[in-house]
A and B are shown apart, each in its own frame.
Chain A
Amino acid sequence: MADVHEITRLLAQVREGDDEALRRLIPIVYDQLRVLAHQQRRRRNPGETVNTTALVHEAYEKLARSGSGFNDRQHFFRVAARAMREVLVDHARAQRRQKRGGGQRPLPLDEDLFLPPQRPDHLLALDEALTRLTALDTRQAEIVELRYFVGLTIPEAAEVLDLSPATVKRDWTAARAWLHHTLSEAA
């Protein structure tokens, strides 16, 4: 697993708007989530799947306890949400490729820990719509990421984004309606 200080440093750069740092951070955070997911599974019954929300919280706590002085909960959750989204979308792409017979590359196995029981096409359509939403309203898109990919509640998302719950609720309602409208137009 990557050095905690590396994560802390990259997070600081993300905070300053460095997109390259975000790009490098995602695999690291994902890697950490994967390790934790494995540990969670060992600790519980083998058949149980992983609860993403609990996982991201645990990953954060681990980081915060590491003594690196890391306490940027907000940015960690934002990065984790992005990481979950990318991983799931990549996975869905691979799955779709495979279904169409475009190569026999086996599934990236660790992702199976997170694999949602959703159809890849739905996830990819949502991802596209979400990318469009990001261009129109970054904050709304980020709220959707936290709610949908990490499963945060409205108050939790408000805390991560440092907004009032009322604002988050209002944004979420609008984003949800817009996405549903956009997805149904596309379908």
Chain B
Amino acid sequence: MTPTDRYARVTTLFSDALERAPEERTTWLADACDDPDIRHEVEAMLAHQMAEAPGPLDQPVFARPDSANNEADTEANPLLGQRVGVWHVTGLLGRGGMGTVYRAERADDTFTQHAALKLVHPGFAPDFRLRFLRERALLAGLDHPGIARLLDGGVAADGAPFLAMELVDGEPITAYAEAHGLDLRERLGLFLQVCDAVAHAHLHLIVHRDLKPPHILVENTEGGPRVKLLDFGIAKLLSEEDDGLTRTGSSGPLTPSYASPEQFLGLPITTATDVYALGLVLYELLTGVRPYSVDGLGASQAERVICDTIPTPLSASAPPEVARALRGDLDTMVGKALAKEPARRYPTAADLAADLRRYLGGLPVEARPATLRYRASRFLRRHRIASVSAALVVAALIAGAGVALWQAQAARAEAAKAVAMNDFLVGLLASADPTVQGRDVRVASLLDQAAADLDSVFAGQPDVAATMHTTLGETYYQLGLYTEAEAQHVRALALRERLYGPRHPDVVRAQDNLGFLWVQQDRLAPADSILALALASARTFRDEDDLLASILSSLGTVRWWQGDAQAALDLHQQAVAAYESVDEPDEIEIAAGMGNVADVLHDLGRDDEAVATMERVLSTYRRAYAPTNARIAMALRDLSSGYYGLRRYDDAVHANEEALALFRRTVDPDSPDLANTLSNHGPVLIKVGRYAEAEAAEREAMGIYERTVGTEHQGYAAALLKASQAQELQGQIAEAEAGMRRAIAIFRATGPEDHPAMGHSQLALGKLLAAQGRDTEAEPILRRAFAIRSSELAPDHPDRADIASRLGEVLGRLGERAEAESLLVAGDNVLRRTPGDERAPEAAARLAAFRGTQATKPGASD
């Protein structure tokens, strides 16, 4: 037998054996194969296959988040009456996805200790023992009355890992607050206890990772209700992602309903992750509902909701009797805790608690409302491709060192410098070597070590030290440790200033890094000054267009968030020009810059130019990406809205049709992108007279919303409203009216009474009723629409004028002639001065008709 034939035999036997039950395999193999050598090899392979420990091949060179292939064995066996370690199991407390929780007690010589014993399915935590030993010391350091203590842990006789925790007899915070009818202040007081306990853990750099009401219990004690947090640090102990110098966060969050965007995307977990969960808990505690629900959603839809959708403001979700109290500061504070980007949240639970105390004490709070729109999703999306993990942090350090080495060589510096740096890194990595220290050196402490050693190791080489500080700063930034990142960038800047004076490109690069960090943290004033300084220097450099562009772009963002759109525009345009003059221009970078320009142009009302810019972005994407890339579809959709605003309806139809075709080919059929594009498509089709198709598009959108988020949703209601408008245009008046009334009811149930959608939907219904001559019914509805829209639109806005004119017409027919005339005249005046508005002739005709009836009704005039 040739080696190839022999191996083929081995493979076949192995695969066939795998299809049999484990206990039958040996016998089967003995029958099937009489060559003991081959049999031995197959048995060895089977042993490796069945072993739980991962081998080298399970850690691909660069792991991807979707490559998890763990097959968990989820059999649980009830253990009542049995012993687990030193614990005697006395009852069942509950079952969860990961395992079972029992009541247990330990009888010692002197006292009896009760515990909640958590038994984990063996498949969940293959190297649990190792992790437990590693984390135990850390968790034992948590000593706070608000945190249930970890008493013991180990591996049961059958191999299942277990944890014994202080037994807490309480109810979840939300249920407790309801059952005891707590008022707002009492609820906030309870919540502050939660914050204080979490803050204690944050001080010890322990993140809970899975905060939710079932983990936040309230006990009645003599001193009043006391909060106890369960399962602190347990999520990390049991999670897939770990140590791993190789694996990224793969299994996703433990509890999707309370997961933060970064948990969902497999990005670094920080104290701000707990702040997000605290925001969700506070929201639920104050309103009785969660800001969003992802129950029953698929992963991509849930991601959309968690990572992209700005939640309904706290006060809009609350029952009317408490909504007033929540409006303002509490809205803002919860909004800040729930920011999509960790950098925009309160950094730790202590900061959230401090702001809540300021609120309770009647002092001004630190959180401030987000006054200008910004794209919440951008930050996270930009990061997710690289899925940062501990492994990548180390790799990033090496890559950063590579740049520094290269610079050292380019400067023809002595080779010793490069060698020194290399030794430093190798030492650093050795300390992270899995075989040396039991697989987990906490990344942050690795970095802290590096930061502490840097200056003394490179005392004679400040240029190298500065580069390393920069790399450390970037790495801390990725881990969400902004204070540490800042310290590193500040140090790099100081070193370089001392070396090169104030205006050297490397100095400016350090300023740019610091400015970028501050912009991301929303610290606009310091970002503004350092970037302005950097810009002044960068303008004097030659061949540093990349640097110049980066500064201009950050500064443009600062201006925009400060509300100075004109200056933002100027800076973003200069950034694009700078990106274009780089030696090897990067089209995508240029297109991203132009996207900023288009956003600002749109803000300034310069829609013509915004659209022209969007067209250029689109053509870049078409060149740079594969024709099916989703970014092209998104650009087309944005462009279609731009065309619609410019009344270029045919162009709008074409752009949307192409976007739809692309989405249909590339995204899941229930994708929110598809729903949203379909829902935008209806009004466009209505404008070109294709009513039946408009209705069909909206119905399709409604179907998607219904399947994914249900019918009590603004997206569903908006599509229903537009479908009804298309029906009205096709003469199906009764169906249209019913649809509009249903849409209004949904908007009313899901948003505040003065939401613009309430204005739009009541206007549609009022128009329909007026067209049917049902003026007495139309009048109050149009009045409400007018009131809502008037509160947000300038007096000379054509939309407002249109409603005024329509309301005037109805009032005229009802005999309210004085009010009718002033509304009709006002509407006509505004629309007459709006070039190209198709509603102008109608307004003029209404006024003329009113005046005509006036002429035939003597006595009505005065």
Give me the interface of A with B, judged by CB distance under 8 Å: 39, 41-54, 61, 64-65, 84, 88, 98-99, 104, 106-107, 109-110, 112-119, 122, 126, 135-137, 140, 144, 147-149, 151, 153, 170-171, 173-174, 176-181, 183-185
Contact of A45 among B55, B387, B477, B623 (CB under 8 A): B477
Q: Which residues of chain A are near B39, meaning CB under 8 Å?
A: none
Q: Is the CB of B185 closer than 8 A to any CB of chain A?
A: no
Contact B66 A117 (CB under 8 A): no
Contact B396 A109 (CB under 8 A): no
Contact B56 A180 (CB under 8 A): yes
Q: Is the CB of B433 closer than 8 A to any CB of chain A?
A: yes
Q: Is the CB of B419 closer than 8 A to any CB of chain A?
A: yes
Q: Which residues of chain B are near A110, meaning CB under 8 Å?
A: 402
- Distance from B273 Cβ to chain A, minimum over Cβ atoms (Å): 20
Contact B62 A47 (CB under 8 A): no
One of B1-9, B219-227, B648-656 contacting the partner: B1-9
**How far is A50 from B388 in the complex, measured between Cα atoms in Å?**
10
Q: Mark B388-402, 1 if CB is under 8 A from A, else 0.
A: 100110111011111
Contact B405 A42 (CB under 8 A): no
Q: Is the CB of B18 closer than 8 A to any CB of chain A?
A: yes
Contact A117 B394 (CB under 8 A): yes
Among B397-419, those with CB < 8 Å from A are: 398-402, 405-406, 409, 415, 418-419
Q: Which residue of chain A has the shortest Cβ distance to B49 in the bound complex?
A: A177
Q: Is the CB of B471 closer than 8 A to any CB of chain A?
A: yes
Q: Which residue of chain A has the shortest Cβ distance to B62 in the bound complex?
A: A52
Q: Which residues of chain B are near A151, meaning CB under 8 Å?
A: 60-64, 67
> Can you name 8 extra interface pairs (CB under 8 A) apart from A44-B383, A117-B245?
A42-B589, A106-B418, A137-B4, A144-B57, A148-B60, A177-B48, A181-B44, A183-B55
Contact B405 A47 (CB under 8 A): no
Say whether chain A's binding surface is mostly helix, strand, loop, or mixed. helix
Contact B14 A177 (CB under 8 A): yes
Q: Which residues of chain A are near B418, meaning CB under 8 Å?
A: 106
Contact A184 B48 (CB under 8 A): yes
Q: Is the CB of B586 closer than 8 A to any CB of chain A?
A: yes
Contact of A53 among B45, B55, B64 (CB under 8 A): B64
Q: Mark B802-815, 1 if CB is under 8 A from A, else 0.
A: 00000000000000
Contact B63 A44 (CB under 8 A): no
- Distance from B431 Cβ to chain A, minimum over Cβ atoms (Å): 13
Contact B11 A174 (CB under 8 A): yes
Q: Mark B23-62, 1 if CB is under 8 A from A, else 0.
A: 0000000000000000001001111110000011111111
Ranked nearest first, the 8 interchain pairs of A and B with the lowest CB-CB distance are A47-B474, A112-B402, A177-B45, A136-B7, A180-B55, A48-B386, A180-B48, A49-B395
- Distance from A22 Cβ to chain B, minimum over Cβ atoms (Å): 20
**How far is A65 from B46 in the complex, measured between Cα atoms in Å?**
45
Contact A49 B626 (CB under 8 A): no
Contact of B398 among A104, A115, A140, A147 (CB under 8 A): A115
Q: Which residues of chain B are near A65, meaning CB under 8 Å?
A: 623, 626
Contact A49 B399 (CB under 8 A): yes
Contact of B3 among A43, A88, A107, A136 (CB under 8 A): A136
Q: Which residues of chain B are near A174, meaning CB under 8 Å?
A: 10-11, 14-15, 45
Contact A153 B4 (CB under 8 A): no
Q: Is the CB of B497 closer than 8 A to any CB of chain A?
A: no
Q: Which residues of chain B are near A153, meaning CB under 8 Å?
A: 64, 66-67
Contact B57 A176 (CB under 8 A): yes
- Distance from B242 Cβ to chain A, minimum over Cβ atoms (Å): 14
Q: Which residue of chain B has the shortest Cβ distance to A39 in the bound complex?
A: B586
Contact A112 B399 (CB under 8 A): yes
**How far is A7 from B398 in the complex, measured between Cα atoms in Å?**
31
**How far is A52 from B385 in the complex, measured between Cα atoms in Å?**
10
Q: Which residues of chain B are near A170, meaning CB under 8 Å?
A: 15
Q: Is the CB of B246 closer than 8 A to any CB of chain A?
A: yes
Q: Which residue of chain B has the shortest Cβ distance to A116 in the bound complex?
A: B61
**How far is A186 from B160 in the complex, measured between Cα atoms in Å?**
31
Q: Which residues of chain B are near A178, meaning CB under 8 Å?
A: 10-11, 14, 45
**How far is A168 from B64 in the complex, measured between Cα atoms in Å?**
19
Contact A43 B588 (CB under 8 A): yes
Contact A49 B44 (CB under 8 A): no
Contact A44 B385 (CB under 8 A): yes
Q: Which residues of chain A are near B46, meaning CB under 8 Å?
A: 177
Q: Is the CB of B620 closer than 8 A to any CB of chain A?
A: no
Q: Is the CB of B546 closer than 8 A to any CB of chain A?
A: yes
Q: Is the CB of B239 closer than 8 A to any CB of chain A?
A: no
Q: Which residues of chain A are near B391, meaning CB under 8 Å?
A: 117
**How far is A147 from B396 in the complex, measured between Cα atoms in Å?**
23
Q: Which residue of chain A has the shortest Cβ distance to B592 in the bound complex?
A: A43
Contact B474 A112 (CB under 8 A): no
Q: Which residues of chain B are near A45, meaning CB under 8 Å?
A: 382-383, 474, 477-478
Q: Which residue of chain B has the shortest Cβ distance to A179 in the bound complex?
A: B57
Q: Which residue of chain A has the shortest Cβ distance to B472 in the bound complex?
A: A47
Q: Is the CB of B625 closer than 8 A to any CB of chain A?
A: yes
Q: Which residues of chain A are near B3, meaning CB under 8 Å?
A: 135-136
Contact A52 B61 (CB under 8 A): yes
Contact A148 B61 (CB under 8 A): yes
Q: Which residue of chain A has the shortest Cβ distance to B5 in the bound complex?
A: A136
Contact B386 A49 (CB under 8 A): yes
**How far is A183 from B396 in the complex, measured between Cα atoms in Å?**
29
Q: Is the CB of B475 closer than 8 A to any CB of chain A?
A: yes
Q: Which residues of chain A are near B625, meaning CB under 8 Å?
A: 61
Q: Which residues of chain A are near B67, meaning CB under 8 Å?
A: 151, 153
Contact B626 A173 (CB under 8 A): no
- Distance from A46 Cβ to chain B, minimum over Cβ atoms (Å): 6
Contact B62 A126 (CB under 8 A): no
Q: Is the CB of B287 closer than 8 A to any CB of chain A?
A: no
Q: Is the CB of B422 closer than 8 A to any CB of chain A?
A: yes
Q: Which residues of chain A are near B60, meaning CB under 8 Å?
A: 147-149, 151
Q: Mark B777-798, 1 if CB is under 8 A from A, else 0.
A: 0000000000000000000000
Contact A183 B546 (CB under 8 A): no
**How far is A135 from B5 in the complex, measured between Cα atoms in Å?**
11
Q: Which residues of chain A are near B66, meaning CB under 8 Å?
A: 153
Q: Which residue of chain B has the shortest Cβ distance to A85 in the bound complex?
A: B61
Q: Which residue of chain A has the shortest Cβ distance to B478 in the bound complex?
A: A47
- Distance from B10 Cβ to chain A, minimum over Cβ atoms (Å): 7
Contact B399 A115 (CB under 8 A): yes
Q: Which residue of chain B has the shortest Cβ distance to A183 in the bound complex?
A: B56
Contact B55 A176 (CB under 8 A): yes
A173/B49 contact (C-beta < 8 A), A49-B392, A180-B56 known: yes
**How far is A47 from B58 in the complex, measured between Cα atoms in Å?**
26
Contact B396 A47 (CB under 8 A): yes
**How far is A62 from B626 in the complex, measured between Cα atoms in Å?**
8
- Distance from B13 Cβ to chain A, minimum over Cβ atoms (Å): 10
Q: Which residue of chain B has the shortest Cβ distance to A35 in the bound complex?
A: B584
- Distance from B160 Cβ to chain A, minimum over Cβ atoms (Å): 25
A-B contact pairs, 11 of them (CB 8 A): A48-B386, A50-B386, A51-B62, A52-B61, A61-B625, A113-B399, A113-B402, A117-B246, A136-B3, A151-B64, A184-B48
Q: Which residues of chain A are near B394, meaning CB under 8 Å?
A: 117
**How far is A174 from B546 in the complex, measured between Cα atoms in Å?**
50
**How far is A18 from B589 in the complex, measured between Cα atoms in Å?**
39
**How far is A5 from B308 in the complex, measured between Cα atoms in Å?**
42
Q: Which residue of chain A has the shortest Cβ distance to B50 in the bound complex?
A: A177
- Distance from A33 Cβ to chain B, minimum over Cβ atoms (Å): 12
Contact A117 B402 (CB under 8 A): no
Contact of B395 among A64, A117, A140, A149 (CB under 8 A): A117
Contact B626 A61 (CB under 8 A): yes
Contact A181 B11 (CB under 8 A): no
Q: Which residues of chain B are near A107, meaning CB under 8 Å?
A: 402, 405, 422
Q: Which residues of chain A are near B588, meaning CB under 8 Å?
A: 43
Contact of B386 among A44, A109, A126, A184 (CB under 8 A): A44
**How far is A183 from B58 in the complex, measured between Cα atoms in Å?**
13
- Distance from A126 Cβ to chain B, minimum over Cβ atoms (Å): 6
Q: Which residues of chain A are near B10, meaning CB under 8 Å?
A: 174, 178
Contact B64 A51 (CB under 8 A): yes
Contact B477 A118 (CB under 8 A): no
- Distance from A29 Cβ to chain B, minimum over Cβ atoms (Å): 16
Q: Which residues of chain B are near A112, meaning CB under 8 Å?
A: 398-399, 401-402
**How far is A141 from B104 in the complex, measured between Cα atoms in Å?**
51
